Every structure is written in structure tokens, then in C-alpha cells.
Amino acid sequence: MNRSSILNGRVIDPASGLDTVADLHLADGRIAAIGAAPDGFEGATRIEAAGLTVIPGLVDLAARLGEPGGEHKQKLARELRAAVAGGVTTVCAMPDTHPALDETGLVQMLRQRAEALGLARVLPLGALTRGLEGQELTEFAKLRDAGCVGFSQADAPLSDTRVLYRAMQYAATHGIALRVRPQDARLAAGGVAHDGQVASRLGLPAIPTAAETVAISTIVILMKDTGARIHLERVSSREGLEMVAAARAYGLPLSCDVAINHVHLADVDIGYFDSNMRLSPPLRGVSDRDAIQHALLDGTVDAICSDHTPVGNDDKLLPFGEAKPGASGLELLLPLTLAWAEQRRVPLAQALARVTSAPAALLGLDAGRIGVGAPADLCLFDPHAEWRVGPETLLSSGKHTPFAGLSLRGRVRHTLVGGRLAHTEPGAA
């Protein structure tokens, strides 16, 4: 029997409100006891966690892992090592791979390779349309049976409303969850920054807020007609969040997430054409960023995701308008969530719920919680340890992030997946 004990850590479980210094005892991949060890619990591996905070492993709703398509670079292994180094134990893999995740064989291959690595758990998101070309729906039921936990078009445009309508009808009939990026393709076409004073001053092609709100309006209208359950990916504007709140008040089963970069940053941070700030959706105005923070507190926003997108130098070290959007985020999701909690005086458990229990609930997972019988997916971090974000400290193949060069507080020392150590910080006891 595989047994281990985590001793003297501060255990925080956002799902139950537990916040106490206690021992955890793990057996066969699950939490066997909190506090005193069960009778006969002998021969366990011991992890001393005094001074560390013990929380459920993070559940990330959106990350790009590079496979299929990056096998020759062993990209999957690198990104999953980055995940566990960031305390992330469950990752939703976006379907915008090469080829796209639109066939059962590709989904099964991804799952098998991820399981063989023994790092973070990978939950594939199936492509909503074949090749993400926005025309022909994929076979949702077959892909679900192969392991897909939802369906998404990722950032690929879906300009034909009839395709979205049919997808929602199909999903509603089979009880399948759809995830939709709310962005009107035509209104966003050619834009690289939020339509505001910064884009005007820098002369950058702009994406209006209406690109998001028009899309949400369409989705809401189709939800009323089809009864589909929809999750909106990476809402970025104040007006968009107001529409989400209104739809929920109407009784629609609409949820949403935001990217961690958008919790902290606004278009003013672009500065003088900093391509690390080239993101999709674009960083919007300060009032939008403040609205995101408020919506995280009032529950309009369900979860925070990393939107992890590894981008190489060839695609990022370019003029702002030519650079590829995206940033690495798996290793920053926890410290940036901690920073938000500290800056806005958000109770720690409430902030951590947005990256643990809340995304787990959206996915219907038995994860994101600490309780007897729960999976032993755990993150042990030093809340006081400061570290500098840079190429030398990020394990991901992508080294570009808006936070490069900054010091963040909160360093993961150990990550356990199914009770097994998947990551230990070099030098950690």
C-alpha cells in the first residue's frame, strides 16, 4: 500500500472552509485522514510541511500543451513539468493543436502520453468543429466517450452563427458542455489591442469591446432557444461581465472564467509596444480590469485560468502588431492569485477557490478539495518565498510573460498527484 504523511502544514480547503495546522495522511492515492493517523498507519513516507501551506492541487481550465504536434520537441513533458512546478494537478488541454483535437484517436493518444508521464492529469477539450475551421461539427458523443470533458473552438473564429446554433442544439440534446470564446470574428478582425486611448496613441489596430458583447448577446439568445449549457472562456470586459450577470439572473446556465493576466493588467501596461502584453483577448481598460476583480468576488466569474500559451522567441520578439498573442502561465497561476488576494485583501480561501474547487465543480470533478476520501492531489507552497520570474526559473518551453523580471511571492515546494510526488522544488526538504 502506498502511504505518506504530510506533517504540520497549514491546511486550507476552500470547499469546506477548513483552515488549520494539521497532518494529512494519504493512502492509495486518496486522503485517508486529517489530524491523527489511522490505526495501523505505519511505514509511511513523511513530508515535513511546517511553514508551508497545503491546498488542493490547482485545476486549470485552459492551457496549451503542444501535443499533438510538438512530440519531436517533447513539449508535452515540458509543459506538464511546468504545471506541477506551479502546483497545477489538473489541466484542461485546449484543442488548438496541430492537428486539432477533432478525432478520437488523437484524444486517446494525448491521454495515454500524459498518463505515461505521471505528472499532472490532462483533460482534453475536443475541437468544436473539424480542424477548428468553423464549418462542420465534430462528433461530440464519440469524442466525449474518448475522454473529452468539453468542446471548444479555442481562439479560432466561429463566424457562422448557424454552426454555433447547431452545436448548441446538439450539446443540449446529449447533455454535453460547450465552451465558447465570446468574440465576434468580424469585429475583431485585424485588431491587436483594446479599442481605447492606448491603441489610439500607439497607432495599433483595435478590437472594440463590442466584439465581446455582440458575441455574448448572440450566445445568450441561442441559449434561450436551445437550452444549452455554456461556459464562456476568458471574458475581458466590464460590459461583458454585466451581460453574464444579467443572463444568470434570468436563470440561464451560463458560467465564465477570466485569465490571470487580465486580473492584474490593463492596456496601459502595454507601455511602449511591449509584445509580452500582446494577449488574446487583448488587455482592456483599467475599468475593465477592476470589474474583473469585482466580479471574482461577487461570483459572476467562476474561475481563473492560466490561459497558458508557450510562445518562442521567433514569434514573440517582433513588433507588437506582428507578435504572436499569448504568454506562459502555468507556473504563475498560483503566485498571481496570491498577489491578487494580498493586494485586494481578499480572504485567502476565497481567492484559492477560484483556482481549485470552483473550476473542479464546473468540470464535475471529484477534485479541488481536501477531505477524507478525496483524491490526494495537493500543492504545498511557501507563502513567504519570493522568486524572480525569468527564463531561468520557468520550466515551460515558453519564457515570455508580462511578469518577466518581476518578483512574486509564493513558491511551490511539493506537488502530489494521486498521493505521488510529481514535483519537488530543488533543495526542498
Q: Show contacts of 245-248: CB within 8 Å, 24+ apart.
A: 245/295, 245/300, 247/216, 247/220, 247/223, 248/300
DSSP code of 291? H
- By CB neighbour count within 10 A (0-12 exposed, 13-18 middle, 19+ buried), where does 371 fall? middle
| Cis peptide bond upstream of 281, omega within 30 | yes
Torsion angle of alpha carbons 237, 156, 220, 337, nearest 10°? Answer: -40
| Cis peptide bond upstream of 99, omega within 30 | yes
Strands 45-48 and 30-34: unpaired
Helices 238-250, 210-226: axis angle to 10 degrees equals 10
Output phi, psi for 89, to 5 deg: -105, -15
Distance between CA atoms of 176 and 321, rounded to whole angstroms?
A: 37
Q: Which residues contact 325 (CB under 8 A, 6 or more apart)?
A: 155, 192, 278, 279, 280, 309
Distance between CA atoms of 429 and 413, rounded to whole angstroms?
A: 8
Cell of 299: 461570483
- N- to C-terminal Cα separation, the chain: 23
Among the options 102, 307, 377, 382, which is catalytic? 307
Task: Respond yes or no: is residue 307 known to be catalytic.
Answer: yes
Q: What is the number of helices (H) and of strands (E) in the chain?
A: 14, 18
Consecutive H or E run containing 416: strand 407-417
SS3 content of the chain, % helix, strand, coil (to 5): 35, 25, 40
- Which residue's C-alpha cell is 497561476? 333
Closest CA to 76 of 105, 116, 126, 103: 116
Catalytic residue list: 307
